[in-house]
Amino acid sequence: MSDAPIRLGTRRSALATAQSQQVADALAAASGRPVELVLITSEGDVSRASLSELGGRGVFATRLREALLAGECDVLVHSLKDLPTAPAPGLVIAATPPREDPRDVVVTRTGVPLHELAPGSVVGTGSPRRIAQVRRRNPWVEVRDIRGNIDSRIGRVRLGELDAVILAAAGLARLGGSLHDLHLEPLGLAEWPTAPGQGVLAVEIREDASADLADAVAALDDRRARVEITAERAVLAGLDSGCQAPVGVHAEFDGHELRVRTVVYAPGGGDRIGDDRAIPLISGYAGEKGSGDGADAADRADPVARAERTGTVIARDLLDRGAAGLAT
């Protein structure tokens, strides 16, 4: 077994390095080797264009994955919600550590809830999903497409440039810092499902990584998080084939049952199509249209495989109900 440092590739932002350091500490404990951060600049970190103009998912991951494949680092840490659903050739997501709070949070100076903000109030977010959700929650506010790190977004609220921003609770928790002068309104997942994989980190390695490294990374994997994100990303992958509308999806797995809530939104926030179902992951495929006797025996015994199958079925049902038409 090598005792050389493990090189962990990460974006340069304060949030990325903070969450990568958490993984680095856990990986050092699991491997018995020191772990050092390798800071990598992605296109998403240097461009000021909106995420929709840059191409959305993958804009933060491409350069990191190139560095991993080139041997510039041994392992990567991503925010899972930033990753495309298609597998990256030569790479594997070897661990998804325990999930942080997956909710979105409204940050304001006054503590006025989002739905009570006065007409003309300015709410900042760069996410098409969040834009649609804000417009549904309070159609009288102005939504401003913004970029920047968490500190800069919060700073714009403190300065009065924005009345509110929508942020991920997980990012706030991982970054830390004092928000004593501001008010936080967590948004319930039942009515405000978030991005697939939100709150989960992805630890990625090369397929040909050494057995020692692969075993150490695998020790960080959390079964509950793996089942949940598999279902969420399967929904997104299925919708990507025929639907460009914003989507929120959140799965909860309690060890026996998987509940998946999905909403596809019209970009303007006016219309939506939703799905909310609970699937037992013990035996059979009760409630899953188009499955049952044809399901492989391996699927029946593997909650991750069942979660993927469930997500695929949900996406197909949403497309059958007209989800693709919401984008037009």
**pLDDT for 98 beyond 80:** yes
Q: How many CA atoms lie within 13 A of 30 on its CB side?
A: 19
The residue range of the domain holding 75 is 6-97+200-221
Residue 126 lies in a domain: yes
211 within a domain of the structure (yes/no):
yes
Alpha helices in the chain (DSSP H): 14-31, 43-46, 51-54, 62-69, 128-137, 150-158, 169-175, 211-218, 223-240, 297-301, 303-320
- The answer on 323 and 232 residing in a single domain is yes
If asked whether residues 210 and 236 sit together in one domain, one would say: no
Q: Does 146 share its domain with 90? A: no
How far is it, in rounded angstroms, from Cα 104 to Cα 263?
15
Residue 81 has a pLDDT of 93
- On whether both 135 and 213 belong to a single domain, the answer is no
Q: Is residue 19 part of a domain?
A: yes
The crossing angle, in degrees rounded to 10, of helices 211-218 and 14-31 is 110
Domain boundary among 131, 162, 186: 186
Query: pLDDT at position 291, please?
Result: 46
Q: Which two tokens stand for residue 266?
A: 């019209």
Question: What is the structure's pLDDT at 28?
Answer: 98
CATH of the domain at 182: 3.40.190.10
Q: Output DSSP code: residue 308.
A: H
Specify the pLDDT at position 292. Answer: 46
- What is the pLDDT at residue 299? 55
Counted domains in the chain: 3
Say whether both 233 and 322 belong to one domain.
yes
- Claim to verify: residue 68 and residue 120 sit in the same structural domain: no
Asked if residue 93 has pLDDT above 50, the reply is yes
Q: For residue 122, tell me if it sits in a domain.
A: yes
Q: Are residues 60 and 138 in the same domain?
A: no
Residue 9 scores a pLDDT above 80: yes
Residue 156 lies inside a defined structural domain of this protein: yes
Do 317 and 289 form a contact (C-beta atoms < 8 A)? yes
In-domain check, residue 1? no
- How many CA atoms does the CB half-sphere of 182 hold within 13 Å? 23
Q: Read off the pLDDT band of 282 (50, 70, 90).
A: low
Q: Which of 101-110, 177-186, 252-261 has the lowest mean pLDDT?
A: 177-186
Is residue 250 located within the same domain as residue 313? yes
Q: Residues 199, 203, 207, 209: what is their CA dihedral angle, to the nearest 10 degrees? A: -170
- Is the residue at 80 inside a domain? yes
Among residues 71, 42, 83, 310, which one has the least CA distance to residue 200?
83
24-83 pLDDT per residue, tens:
999 999 999 999 999 998 665 554 555 454 445 566 799 999 999 999 999 999 999 989
Given a contact cutoff of 8 angstroms between Cβ atoms, the answer to whether 210 and 6 are in contact is no
- pLDDT higher than threshold 60 for residue 296: no
pLDDT for residue 297 is more than 90: no
Same domain, 92 and 204: yes
pLDDT of residue 328: 65
Q: What percent of the chain has pLDDT over 70?
A: 87
∠ CA 270-272-278, nearest 5°, is 155
- For residue 253, is pLDDT > 90? yes
Report the distance separating Cα 155 and Cα 159, nearest Å: 6
Question: What are phi and psi for residue 271, nearest 5 degrees?
Answer: -110, 160
Q: Do 93 and 207 lie in a common domain?
A: yes
d(CA 223, CA 201): 13
Give pTM, 2 decimals.
0.88
Based on the fold, state whether residues 143 and 277 are members of the same structural domain.
Answer: no
The CATH number assigned to the domain holding 303 equals 3.30.160.40
Percentage above 90 pLDDT, the chain: 76
Tell me: do 214 and 232 sit in the same domain: no
DSSP tag of 70:
T
pLDDT score for 71:
96
| Three-state secondary structure call for residue 126 | coil
User: Residues 199-240: pLDDT tens digits?
Assistant: 999 999 999 999 999 999 999 999 999 999 999 999 999 998
pLDDT tens figures, 269-280: 789 999 999 999
What pLDDT sits at residue 179? 87
Dist CA 51 CA 146 (whole Å)? 9
Residue 195 domain flag: no
Which residues are tagged catalytic?
81-82, 129-130, 147, 153, 243
